[in-house]
Structure 1
Amino acid sequence: MEATPTSPERKAGWKLWAGMLVFGLAGLGVAIELTVLHVRVHLDPAFRSFCAINETVNCDTVAQSPYSVFLGVPVSVWGILGYLAMSGVAIAAFLLKRRGRDVLAGMMLALTGFSVGMSLVLGGISTFKLKCFCLLCMFTYGINLVLLVLSLLEARRWGVAASLQAAVDFVAGEWKRVLPVGIFGSVAVVALLAFYPAYWATPAHADVDLSTGVDALGDPWIGAKEPKLTIIEYSDYQCPHCRRGHEEMRALLAKHPDDVRLVHRNYPLDEACNPKIKSAFHPYACEYAKLSVCAGEQGKFWEANDYLFENGKQESPITPAALVKAIKADPGKLEACMKSSAAQSRVDANIQEGIRRGIQGTPSFQVGDKVYPGRLPPEVIDSFLSPAK
């Protein structure tokens, strides 16, 4: 038998639904902000969000991870759909009289329970896989938990099991009324899967034909033959911040192809070859550095460089075969180079030069004798490229 709330309970119910609407809309706002952040992180190399605080708390790093996309659509976009659904149920509660709100309570409880489950999954990925946290994401986890508590309190007014059963019975018994909503939702999901642009799979730098070469120390360069500004980057292919730096530098080269030269030096944060690293950190970085050197022996360093930055943060290691296929290199020559001592010696020389220059982390950029950790300040670039007054 369905419980009948008293007048004070009905007033409390309105407050619960008002709270669910407020938090649902708040979650919607945060999900939209996360979607904008995701787009800008991938398309604007110079973009840094307000919550890119450090190595551990960094929304940009999380947004760049493969876990930020599910079934070809950003997780934040799925969140927008979820919050729209929850807000819609809350609005429906205000439009209906008492009858039918037990059904809505069951629906809301199911939606919020699912959202909290997803929060646990995503939080676990941040903790154990990425070892990096997104403040905005964590805010949505808190919103989801509050929504679950509010929906649970509302469901208890009708009986938790009874409200869930009422929702199931409504869908089964009123399928003709539910069908249009289901079709609309299905069409929206299919449209997302089919047409959402995969902008994260496209390098942010422009595809510009640039000169390349090797400097006096044997390090590869790209850009101007007679540069006004030479930038030496110390980088690690497993470092997400290095990937951002890579995109920013390539965008700078595309904008100033006749004025800027970029020199690459490997500085893998991997204890296997870097004596400054005392514990496991980037376990494949030394091998990736060797792969880039060996690709360079075939005149394909910058193709390998782009590929390694694009794929270096993936969970499974990049194999020589995968690189060969991607850059159309000679597999026999690459294998022989990887087994030779010359490739490791080249990487070691880069590391020792980095240590001599006082490199503490990646990316770091050297202009002249000065090293800039993290990011090259725009004013330094402007000082070389701005017309003389």
Structure 2
Amino acid sequence: MHTSFPIYLEKPIPMTTETQAEPQTSTTATPFPGGKLWAVLFLLWLVGIACNSVLAWQYYQLTLSDTPLDLPGCGATEALDCNSVIGSPYGRLAGFSLTTFAFGYYAIQFVLLIWARREGRSRVGLFPVLGLPAFASTAVIMGGWAAATMHFRLESYCIWCLAVHATNLLFFLFAAAFARAVYQYQRAESVTASQKVVGRGPIFATVLAIILMASWQTFLLANYHGEPQMADEELPQDLMQILVLEADAKDTSEEEASETENSSEVIWTNLGSREASNKIVFFACYTCPHCKAVFNVLEEILKEHPDDLRVDLRMNPLWSDCNPYISPEVQEERHQYACQAALVGIAIAEAAPEKFEEYSEWAFRHQTHLTPYLLEQKGRELLGEATFDELYQSDEIKDRLAKDMQLSGRVKVAIVPQLYLGKRRLSGAITRVKLLEILDEEFNWGESKPEVPATAEQAAS
């Protein structure tokens, strides 16, 4: 008997094959290290362009407005004279405002910032990343140059200008830190990805670019900084014979002699040695910032050529009370004490000619803060109260100022500062380098300047 056993079919158990997880290479890149630094750079960029916009507004206000407003924080002291700095010849390069060049600088930095942010992880991104500190170095050089100019030449400071330069310096430092972080990041990434390691070539190229840009920028600043709107024209005749101070001792006509009392006396309003054979006639106003800049240039040259040059200063106040060629409708309030400043200068030159240069230096330095009280106080300090009170506002001093105004009209002085030497007339602002070139050409200093003995024995021989 066949017995069959029931076959129970169970649900088949699926066969599963367990595989051990293999290690996978992480595809997540190392976090980009420059995010916070980039944010700081962008913030500094915003601060810099905002300050530059304020300076640009102030520059064109000084250029176009008869009554320019002072910037906040400016004018608090005599040293903080923003308008004197912004409106000086050193506020321009090759005739253009420095703020104009600065807008171009900030535009390029903006492009580099955006490019560096978008492409910083790629090797192509090294170009804008390293370009940021390289290009920012030009602003650092400009800042150092401007600070030296304010301190040594203008003796006035603009806090807004200093704020821009400080911001640019911080931008350069953070840009260098940003470039270093991105460079190290790319080197690490190239090692991880078994790619060719980023070398030091980009670093050397950046340093070389900074050196080349610094050299070129220094050349431009040395030769063209502070040379705006300088006109050099040749006159049909040599006017020096009627403009130099010695001419005051000659009566050019009976009519002039009758109008000007004491016309045979010379009041020596000159800078430098009275016996110097080379002479310049300088028409200026003590309250004119461009005249101040040219005066500083002339002082520097006089220190280098103490016996070779004399500068005869002719007064040309930019105020209608004493200048018949100035219209009351167009005169600026900043020149309201120009006549008093000129009269005090002439009085000092009459009584103590050796103190005239000291007074002129003081008057130009404090031109934005001059008042009748301060001017008279300075006159009494240099001459003594009795002498000054006797001369100031006397007919003799007023006649000399009228004589200068008469000469100004005769040679058609349209603007100041204005320099005359030989048949040449220089108008507007001028750099020391350019003026030295002209003087070398006019006076042949390069050919005929005597050699200075090295020792006392050589001098005796």
The TM-score normalised by the length of structure 2 is 0.44
CA shift, 1:48, in A, is 2.5
Task: Tell me whether 1:311 sits opposite 2:359 in the alignment.
Answer: no
Q: Residue 318 of structure 2 corresponds to which residue in structure 1?
A: 246
Structure 2 CA distance for partners of 1:70 and 1:7, relative to 1, 3 Å: same
Please report the RMSD computed on the Cα atoms of aligned residues, expressed in angstroms.
4.8
Structure 2 CA distance for partners of 1:133 and 1:18, relative to 1, 3 Å: same
Selected match of 1:72 from 86, 90, 95 = 95
Q: Residue 285 of structure 2 corresponds to which residue in structure 1?
A: 237
Structure 2 CA distance for partners of 1:291 and 1:200, relative to 1, 3 Å: farther
Equivalences for 1:299-378 in 2 at 5 Å? 300=409, 303-304=412-413, 306-307=414-415, 310-311=416-417, 318-319=419-420, 321=422
Q: Residue 21 of structure 1 corresponds to which residue in structure 2?
A: 42
Q: Residue 175 of structure 2 corresponds to which residue in structure 1?
A: 151
Q: Residue 10 of structure 2 corresponds to which residue in structure 1?
A: none
Task: Tell me whether 1:125 sits opposite 2:149 in the alignment.
Answer: yes
Equivalences for 1:81-120 in 2 at 5 Å? 81-99=104-122, 100-120=124-144
**Secondary structure of 1:246's aligned partner:** coil
Distance across 2 between alignment mates of 1:320 and 1:291: 22
CA shift, 1:134, in A, is 0.9
Contact 2:285 2:291 in 1 (8 A): yes
CA distances 1:36-66 after superposition (whole Å, capped 9, x unpaired): 1111112112112222334311111012211
Structure 2 CA distance for partners of 1:53 and 1:252, relative to 1, 3 Å: farther
**Secondary structure of 1:48's aligned partner:** coil
Structure 2 CA distance for partners of 1:146 and 1:70, relative to 1, 3 Å: same
CA shift, 1:163, in A, is 4.0
CA shift, 1:29, in A, is 1.6
Selected match of 1:44 from 56, 59, 65 = 65
Contact 1:39 1:199 in 2 (8 A): no
Give the letter aligned to residue 59 of structure 2: H
Q: Residue 366 of structure 1 corresponds to which residue in structure 2?
A: none
Contact 1:106 1:165 in 2 (8 A): no
Distance across 2 between alignment mates of 1:242 and 1:267: 20
Q: Structure 2, unaligned stretches of length 5 or more?
A: 1-28, 185-198, 210-227, 232-258, 262-283, 293-316, 365-397, 428-461
Distance across 2 between alignment mates of 1:19 and 1:325: 48
CA shift, 1:67, in A, is 0.8
CA shift, 1:129, in A, is 0.7
Contact 1:108 1:151 in 2 (8 A): yes
**Secondary structure of 2:132's aligned partner:** helix
Q: Residue 282 of structure 1 corresponds to which residue in structure 2?
A: 360
CA shift, 1:76, in A, is 1.0
Structure 2 CA distance for partners of 1:279 and 1:7, relative to 1, 3 Å: farther
Contact 1:57 1:134 in 2 (8 A): yes
Q: Structure 1, unaligned stretches of length 5 or more?
A: 1-5, 171-197, 202-216, 220-235, 313-317, 327-389
CA shift, 1:109, in A, is 1.1
CA distances 1:331-354 after superposition (whole Å, capped 9, x unpaired): xxxxxxxxxxxxxxxxxxxxxxxx
Give the letter aligned to residue 240 of structure 1: C
Percent identity between matched residues is: 15
Higher relative contact order (CA 8 A, sep 6+): 2
CA shift, 1:164, in A, is 3.8
The TM-score normalised by the length of structure 1 is 0.51
CA shift, 1:78, in A, is 0.6
Structure 2 CA distance for partners of 1:96 and 1:103, relative to 1, 3 Å: same
Contact 1:34 1:136 in 2 (8 A): yes
Give the letter aligned to residue 253 of structure 1: P
Structure 2 CA distance for partners of 1:44 and 1:303, relative to 1, 3 Å: farther
Distance across 2 between alignment mates of 1:120 and 1:255: 37
Count of matched residue positions in the alignment of Structure 1 and Structure 2? 250
Structure 2 CA distance for partners of 1:248 and 1:137, relative to 1, 3 Å: farther
Structure 2 CA distance for partners of 1:279 and 1:161, relative to 1, 3 Å: farther
Distance across 2 between alignment mates of 1:92 and 1:324: 51
CA shift, 1:240, in A, is 3.4
Distance across 1 between alignment mates of 2:60 and 2:289: 16
CA shift, 1:263, in A, is 9.8
Largest Rg, 1 or 2: 2
Contact 1:292 1:301 in 2 (8 A): no
CA shift, 1:281, in A, is 5.5
Give the letter aligned to residue 127 of structure 2: V
CA distances 1:175-197 after superposition (whole Å, capped 9, x unpaired): xxxxxxxxxxxxxxxxxxxxxxx
Distance across 2 between alignment mates of 1:137 and 1:325: 29
Distance across 2 between alignment mates of 1:130 and 1:88: 35
Distance across 2 between alignment mates of 1:86 and 1:283: 41
CA shift, 1:275, in A, is 6.3
